[in-house]
Structure 1
Amino acid sequence: MANILLISSRVAALLGFILYTLFEILRGLVLLCVPATYEPVKTVAGEIILITGAGSGLGRQLAIKLARKQAKIVIWDIDVKGLEDTYKMIKDAGGTVHHYKCDLTKREEVYDVAEQVTKDVGDVTILINNAGVTSGYWLWEIPDHLIQRTFDVNSIALFWTAKAFLPKMIQENRGHIVTIASMAGHTACSKLCDYSASKFAAYGFDEGLRLDLAAKGITGVKTTVVCPYFIAQTGMFNDVVSALPTLSVDVVAERTILGITREDLVIMLPAYFRFTFWLKWFVPWSVVSKFVIGMVPDAVPKQGSFVKY
């Protein structure tokens, strides 16, 4: 009798899960048909938004655009001049901004600067982990310290910044953590072994964080992971040899902000890539490698073009 009850409960749970899955798929299909202009969005006005790697490139554009939307901006970077330039641009435009030099590879420095931000500005409500670096060498030629730095900045620092600000978000059941990953976090490219691996980790970080929040029933703290193709004007991939055009910083910044306001889980740019990645699990590796190398013959033509965030 006990076995029958156990089997019955498991069958009922399975059927319930199947029905839930079908409902969510149907809901997703309906939402795909809704124009972006009609989707509900939240405002960022008054939010305290911290952006790492904001001394140039995408981080700078995000800071400027979010300041125009009346958010209170906090910018971090190791590049003091770039940081001050971004700060001046926002101040001159009438925005509210605070800037701090912070080396993301140093855990205690991240925690110390985060504490200072809370004292000076208040509790960060939106964290955008944007900082990133690449080395641009073949794997067997990458200096060890550059491999370490790639992971420290692109992957490990995500944990330090999140742990610095997440507890308060959880306490208030309100907040948003945005991770700038990459299409290279789904399919690797040659000469980007360390970068791709670190971006795979960044994507996994977002997914793991989202599951932790869901398992604890924390519904007010959102996560978004952004996976763009190569972005021009960031200093890392300006010379990339690619069969597809690179993305502009402005386009990626605008789509990221839209994703924040819509609380998108995953943003892929170009969007059609989301319908292609599954193919690599169904075709032979020889085909995948030939296709990727054909699409991106050389991601970093100037070998070893290490870029600071």
Structure 2
Amino acid sequence: MCVKSFIAACVTFIKDVFTLYKVGIYEWFWAFAYLFVNRNSKVICNENILITGTGSGIGKDLAIKLAAMGNTIICIDINDEANKQTVREIVQSGGRAHGYCCNVADHENVVKLHEQTLADVGKVSYVFNVAGVVSGKLFRDLTPADIKLTMDVNVLAVFWVTQTFLEDMRELGYGHVTTISSVAGLFGSIKLVDYSCSKFAVMGLVEALRFEIMAENLPIEFTMVNPYFIKTGMFEGVVSKWPYFMPMLETGWVGDKIIEAVEQNRVIVVMPRIFYYLMLTKAFCPDRLSYHINKFSGTFDVMQYFTGRPDSKEADSNTEKSKDS
């Protein structure tokens, strides 16, 4: 009986290996082909789109651009006045937008928000998790309040918003969830211990959830965006060691790239592209060498003159700022 079981296990293993081999050839072919041909793009129009962190930065930029494409935008930010300004700009330009003041790090608030948006707008088919915070402190200087705020806004808010509004997509039969992470979710760095931790967590969250949805054969897509530092004020004072190869990114350019990635159903986007090669290098180099790679790239010193937004102290205690990198 043991011999038969062993043989059966070997046969099953060999069959699975050949299946994986065939799938691998197919996927590698298209991965290579996409280097030379454009991916098929879907049209994002007449959709109800929820975006967090629309009071400023990338969130605001995405809201304005997606509204101009003919979508109804649900603008979410804890900074009510800034959020209302975004809604006014969209409406004045002929777009459709609804603004809601909500602390998305609070589960009950997100549930109430869902009830309100269902009544006011209807089911949501696209979600952009953009809101986030950064402390920019050394690990030894982080307070429990700093760490809790970072994890609440950068991780738990993504849980609550995605879990709640994913039910709309299940009922609609399609949807797309986009989450703005950071290169700090790929590489650890000095003065970004809590921030990197939250972004590594979000990477795992989205990857595992994407596999769950794929196993259910649901036509819901996921895109994870990992940008370098963006010129929005959130990382005020940050200076790149190699500005030609690792430039500070412009908000408008990043917004365009995010929308393009969603249209093409891309799973992971890293900006700028040099970080793809650094990811590959990190995967194959000895652990201790990764320290020197980070040192060479300047990521250890990039936060040396970090100041953040002028209202960062108030933001840490009262507001949830727009997530940019």
The two structures have a TM-score, normalised by structure 1, of: 0.93
* Matching residue within 19, 23, 28 for 1:16: 19
CA-to-partner distance for each residue in 1:120-150, whole Å, 9 max, x for gaps? 0010100000001000110110121111011
Contact conserved, 1:136 with 1:300, CA < 8 A, in 2? no
Which 5+ residue runs of structure 1 have no aligned equivalent? none
Deviation, structure 1 residue 300? 5.7
Alpha-carbon separation, structure 1, partners of 2:288 and 2:16: 41
**SS at 2:270's partner residue?**
strand
- The residue correspondences of 1:277-296 to structure 2 (distance < 5 A) are 277-294=279-296, 295-296=298-299
Contact conserved, 1:191 with 1:299, CA < 8 A, in 2? yes
Alpha-carbon separation, structure 1, partners of 2:66 and 2:266: 17
- The residue correspondences of 1:1-309 to structure 2 (distance < 5 A) are 2-3=4-5, 4-34=7-37, 36=38, 39-218=39-218, 220-233=219-232, 235-243=233-241, 244-294=246-296, 295-296=298-299, 297-299=301-303, 301-302=305-306, 306=312, 307=315, 308-309=320-321
Alpha-carbon separation, structure 2, partners of 1:178 and 1:302: 27
Deviation, structure 1 residue 173? 2.0
* Structure 2 letter corresponding to 1:265: V
* Structure 2 letter corresponding to 1:31: Y
Specify whether residues 303 and 272 from structure 1 end up closer, same or farther in structure 2 by C-alpha distance, changes over 3 A only: closer
Alpha-carbon separation, structure 2, partners of 1:304 and 1:261: 32
CA-to-partner distance for each residue in 1:212-258, whole Å, 9 max, x for gaps? 1011121x11110101011111x211310212320001111000001
Contact conserved, 2:235 with 2:307, CA < 8 A, in 1? no
Deviation, structure 1 residue 171? 2.7
Higher relative contact order (CA 8 A, sep 6+): 2
Specify whether residues 269 and 215 from structure 1 end up closer, same or farther in structure 2 by C-alpha distance, changes over 3 A only: same
**SS at 2:34's partner residue?**
helix
Deviation, structure 1 residue 168? 2.4
Comparing 4-13 with 266-275, greater Cα deviation is found at 4-13
* Structure 1 letter corresponding to 2:224: V
**SS at 1:32's partner residue?**
coil
Contact conserved, 1:64 with 1:90, CA < 8 A, in 2? yes
* Structure 1 letter corresponding to 2:305: P
Contact conserved, 1:231 with 1:238, CA < 8 A, in 2? no
Comparing 45-54 with 12-21, greater Cα deviation is found at 12-21
Comparing 85-94 with 51-60, greater Cα deviation is found at 85-94
Contact conserved, 1:46 with 1:71, CA < 8 A, in 2? yes
* Structure 2 letter corresponding to 1:28: A
Contact conserved, 2:234 with 2:308, CA < 8 A, in 1? no
Contact conserved, 1:133 with 1:150, CA < 8 A, in 2? yes
- Indicate the percent of aligned positions where both proteins have the same amino acid: 33
Deviation, structure 1 residue 284? 3.9
Alpha-carbon separation, structure 2, partners of 1:238 and 1:140: 22
Alpha-carbon separation, structure 1, partners of 2:9 and 2:236: 60
Alpha-carbon separation, structure 1, partners of 2:304 and 2:117: 36
Contact conserved, 2:237 with 2:307, CA < 8 A, in 1? no
Alpha-carbon separation, structure 2, partners of 1:284 and 1:128: 36
Contact conserved, 2:225 with 2:268, CA < 8 A, in 1? yes
Which 5+ residue runs of structure 2 have no aligned equivalent? none
**SS at 1:170's partner residue?**
helix
The two structures have a TM-score, normalised by structure 2, of: 0.89
Alpha-carbon separation, structure 2, partners of 1:210 and 1:110: 21
Alpha-carbon separation, structure 2, partners of 1:40 and 1:14: 30
